[in-house]
C-alpha cells in the first residue's frame, strides 16, 4: 500500500539529507568572522520571522558553523530538492494545489532550522514532511460514530458517486460496522436503474440480517427512500443507508433524480464514494459532485490496492469535507475509520 509514494518521499528525504551533510562539513581551520561583519549579519528582532529565514547572512551561518558547531539551512540549499518533491507528489496523483501546499509547508519548516553537525539530519526532513501531510489531511476530521450517537434518530445517510466504485459494497460494510456497535439499520435499495442492483444489495442485507426496503426495477428511487425512512421511524431504527444509482455529475436527468430523493427524504449526511486507486480522477469527481450536490464527506474504496495515495491526501483538502472511512478489502469487516495519523504513519513505515 502506497509503495510508490513511500519511495518518492524517501527519495526526497535522502536528497535533502545529502544537501544538509554537504553544507554542514566543518572547516579545517576555522577563523572567527570579524566583529563588524557579524554585527551586520544579525537580523533585527523587529523583522518578521519568515523574512529572517530568507535573509540569513553569510557571517551568521559561518558563526553558527564554526563556533556553535551547527549549520543553518537556507532556501537555496534545498531549492532543487523541493522542486523534485513537488514533481514527485504530482506524479503520485496528488492535486497540484495540495502538492504546492505541502511543499510550501515543508520549506517553511526547514528553512532557517539549525542542526548540530553530526546529528541525524534525515530526522528533521522526515518530520517536516510528516507534519505537512498530516496538517493537510487533518484539516477536516469528522467522527461518523459520534455523529450517529448524538443525532436525532433515525439518521439518514445517502450514498452517491459514479458507477462501479463500490457504493453497494461500502453500504454493506458500513451496515456491519453499525450493527457490530449495537445500532439498528435499514437499507433503501434506491438504485432502481442498474440491472441487478436490487438483487445485489438484497443478498448483502440478507447476509447481515437487516431490513431492506425495495421496489420493482425501474421504479421511482425517491419513493423507495421515502418508504425506508417511514419504516425506520415506525420501527425506531437508528440508521437508514440509502443506495442510489451511479451517475456522473453532468447527467442532468439522474442529478435531478438525486435532488428529488434529497428533497423528499432530506438526508442527514450525503456521502461520496469513489476508488482510491482512481487518484486525481476521484478528486476531480468529488469536487464536481460537491459543487452539484454538496457532500458531507467521502469514503474511499480499494485503499489497500493504492500504490500512490494521492486521492486520500487530496480529496478532503480539495472538497473541504472529511474522509469518513477507507475500504481495505472485499470482506464486510474491511472498512477502517479514517485516521490521518495512521495514514501518515503508513507512508513512513
**Domain residues of the chain, as ranges?**
3-137, 144-339
Query: Per mean pLDDT, which range of 108-122, 190-204, 259-273, 292-306 is the poorest?
Result: 108-122
Q: Which CATH class is domain 3-137?
A: mainly alpha
pTM of the full structure: 0.82
d(CA 136, CA 110): 17
The arithmetic mean of pLDDT across residues 152-168, rounded, is 94
pLDDT over 60 at 77, yes or no: yes
pLDDT computed for residue 81 by the predictor:
84
Q: Which residues contact 37 (CB under 8 A, 6 or more apart)?
A: 59
pLDDT computed for residue 20 by the predictor:
67
pLDDT single digits (tens) 201-220: 999 999 999 999 999 999 99
Query: Per mean pLDDT, which range of 101-110, 150-159, 198-207 is the poorest?
Result: 101-110
pLDDT computed for residue 70 by the predictor:
63
Q: What CATH number belongs to 144-339?
A: 3.40.50.300
Model confidence at 80, pLDDT cuts 50, 70, 90, reads: confident
The number of C-alpha atoms within 13 Å of 180 and in the hemisphere containing its C-beta is 10
Model confidence at 246, pLDDT cuts 50, 70, 90, reads: confident
d(CA 130, CA 259): 40
Higher pLDDT, 186 or 127: 186
d(CA 85, CA 206): 49
pLDDT computed for residue 39 by the predictor:
40
The arithmetic mean of pLDDT across residues 57-83, rounded, is 63
pLDDT over 70 at 162, yes or no: yes
Model confidence at 273, pLDDT cuts 50, 70, 90, reads: very high
pLDDT single digits (tens) 8-51: 888 888 877 777 666 655 444 444 444 444 444 444 444 444 44
Query: Per mean pLDDT, which range of 56-70, 104-118, 185-199, 322-336 is the poorest?
Result: 56-70
∠ CA 188-302-268, rounded to 5° = 35
pLDDT over 50 at 63, yes or no: no
pLDDT single digits (tens) 108-147: 888 876 665 555 666 778 888 899 999 988 878 889 999 9
134 grid coordinates: 498530516
Query: Per mean pLDDT, which range of 147-151, 228-232, 276-280 is the poorest?
Result: 276-280
d(CA 213, CA 224): 7
Closest by CA position to 137, among listed 345, 349, 346, 344: 344
The arithmetic mean of pLDDT across residues 238-259, rounded, is 87
208-246 burial: b if 16+ Cβ within 10 Å, else e: bebbbbbbeeeebbbbbbbbbbebbeeeebbbbbbbbbb
Amino acid at each position: 500500500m502506497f509503495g510508490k509514494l513511500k519511495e518518492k518521499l524517501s527519495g526526497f528525504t535522502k536528497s535533502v539529507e545529502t544537501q544538509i551533510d554537504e553544507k554542514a562539513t566543518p572547516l579545517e581551520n576555522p577563523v572567527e568572522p570579524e566583529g563588524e561583519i557579524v554585527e551586520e549579519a544579525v537580523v533585527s528582532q523587529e523583522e518578521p520571522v519568515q523574512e529572517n529565514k530568507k535573509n540569513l547572512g553569510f557571517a551568521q551561518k559561518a558563526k553558527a558553523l564554526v563556533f556553535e558547531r551547527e549549520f543553518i539551512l537556507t532556501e537555496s540549499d534545498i531549492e532543487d530538492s523541493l522542486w523534485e518533491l513537488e514533481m514527485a507528489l504530482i506524479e503520485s496523483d496528488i492535486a497540484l494545489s495540495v502538492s504546492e501546499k505541502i511543499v510550501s509547508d515543508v520549506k517553511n519548516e526547514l528553512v532557517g532550522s539549525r542542526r548540530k553537525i553530526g546529528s541525524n539530519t534525515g530526522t528533521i526532513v522526515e518530520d517536516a514532511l510528516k507534519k505537512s501531510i498530516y496538517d493537510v489531511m487533518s484539516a477536516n476530521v469528522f467522527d461518523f460514530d459520534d455523529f450517529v450517537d448524538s443525532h436525532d434518530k433515525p439518521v439518514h445517510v445517502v450514498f452517491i458517486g459514479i458507477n462501479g466504485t463500490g457504493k453497494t459494497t461500502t453500504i454493506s460494510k458500513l451496515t456491519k460496522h453499525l450493527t457490530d456497535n449495537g445500532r439498528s439499520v435499514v437499507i433503501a435499495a434506491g438504485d432502481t436503474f442498474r440491472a441487478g442492483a436490487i438483487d445485489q444489495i438484497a443478498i448483502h442485507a440478507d447476509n447481515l440480517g437487516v431490513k431492506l426496503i425495495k421496489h420493482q426495477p425501474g421504479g421511482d428511487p425517491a419513493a423507495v427512500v421515502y418508504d425506508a425512512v417511514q419504516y425506520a421511524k415506525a420501527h425506531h431504527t437508528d440508521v437508514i443507508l440509502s443506495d442510489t444509482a451511479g451517475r456522473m455529475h453532468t447527467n442532468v436527468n439522474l442529478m435531478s433524480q438525486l435532488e428529488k430523493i434529497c428533497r423528499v427524504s432530506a438526508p442527514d449526511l450525503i456521502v461520496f464514494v469513489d476508488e482510491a486507486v482512481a487518484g486525481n480522477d476521484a478528486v476531480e469527481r468529488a469536487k464536481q459532485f460537491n459543487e452539484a450536490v454538496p457532500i458531507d464527506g467521502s469514503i474511499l474504496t480499494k485503499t489497500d490496492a493504492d500504490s500512490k495515495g494521492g486521492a486520500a491526501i487530496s480529496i478532503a483538502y480539495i472538497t473541504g469535507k472529511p474522509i469518513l472511512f477507507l475500504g481495505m478489502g472485499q470482506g464486510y469487516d474491511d472498512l477502517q475509520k479514517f485516521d490521518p495519523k495512521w495514514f501518515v504513519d503508513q507512508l513512513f513505515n
